[in-house]
């Protein structure tokens, strides 16, 4: 009976994932990410993120973790007058992202920083952003939240990707020391947010999406 429940749950998860898929706007970039093992946000989580942007009318975004520009391009695709600030510390990824922004002619709507988000002194006003999207080194989620959440407006959104760590977050038999350490940090951040005064939703889509309302 337990096996039957697991199969049904997996089938339901895949069914919803397929419905949330939608048409890929940037197939070449997505294919590059897959072929070169570049981590990008899962399609169903991306759909929800873009839906949140559309519902709230968010137009100014700060993205921690540019990678190759895949998620940034999708954020900018929701509204033509939106603007993205994005931070990436790996120069190779950063260069590819810049090329992708230029290819799709959105470079004039992007302020891209090649820097370490943990130490960057970002020169923008507090409460000037509609959305903070955290998708960088997962062990630093708490640091990124503490550092950049003051830039988000009242009633703005903070979204954190990969809060489930591909299942590691509920694995009690992790042998690798670094993975255990990572799990501990992410679990601590998740619990801190759950216990905070912020309105939070932990969504089991993609690799786990945390949605926080700053109110």
Q: In what order do the strands lie in the sheet with 83-88?
A: 110-114, 83-88, 60-64, 129-134, 152-161, 209-214, 199-203
86 φ, ψ to 5°?
-140, 145
The answer to whether 71 and 42 are in contact (CB under 8 A) is no
The predicted-structure confidence for 96-136, as pLDDT tens digits, reads as follows 999 999 999 999 999 999 999 999 999 999 999 999 999 99
| Greater pLDDT, 203 or 22 | 203
Quick one: tokens of 215? Answer: 């109110």
Which residues in 46-57 are b (16+ Cβ under 10 Å) and which e?
Answer: bbbbbebbeeee
Which residues fall within 8 angstroms of residue 189, CB to CB, at 6 or more apart? 141, 142, 145, 160, 163
Q: Does pLDDT of 5 surpass 70?
A: no
Q: Span 2-214: which CATH code?
A: 3.40.50.150
Task: Tell me the pLDDT of the chain averaged across its residues.
Answer: 93
Domain ranges of the chain: 2-214
The predicted-structure confidence for 23-46, as pLDDT tens digits, reads as follows 799 999 999 999 999 999 999 999
With CA atoms as reference, report the closest residue to 75 among 31, 45, 38, 32: 45
**pLDDT at res. 9:** 55
């Amino acid at each position: 009976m337990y096996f039957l429940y697991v199969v049904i749950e997996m089938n339901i998860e895949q069914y919803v994932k397929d419905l949330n898929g939608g048409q890929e706007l940037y197939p070449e970039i997505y294919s590059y990410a897959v072929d070169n093992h570049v981590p990008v946000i899962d399609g169903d989580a991306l759909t929800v993120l873009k839906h949140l942007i559309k519902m709230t009318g968010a137009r100014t975004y700060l993205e921690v973790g540019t990678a190759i520009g895949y998620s940034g391009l999708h954020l900018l695709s929701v509204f033509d007058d939106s603007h993205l600030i994005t931070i990436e510390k790996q120069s190779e990824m950063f260069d590819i992202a810049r090329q992708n922004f230029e290819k799709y002619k959105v470079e004039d709507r992007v302020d891209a920083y090649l820097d370490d988000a943990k130490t960057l002194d970002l020169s923008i006003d507090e409460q000037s952003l509609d959305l903070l999207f955290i998708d960088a080194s997962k062990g630093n989620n708490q640091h990124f939240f503490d550092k950049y959440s003051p830039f988000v407006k009242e009633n703005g959104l903070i979204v954190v990707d990969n809060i489930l760590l591909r299942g590691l977050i509920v694995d009690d038999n992790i042998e690798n020391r670094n993975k255990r350490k990572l799990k501990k940090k992410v679990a601590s951040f998740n619990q801190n947010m759950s216990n905070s005064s912020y309105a939070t939703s932990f969504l089991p889509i993609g690799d786990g999406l945390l949605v926080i309302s700053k109110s």
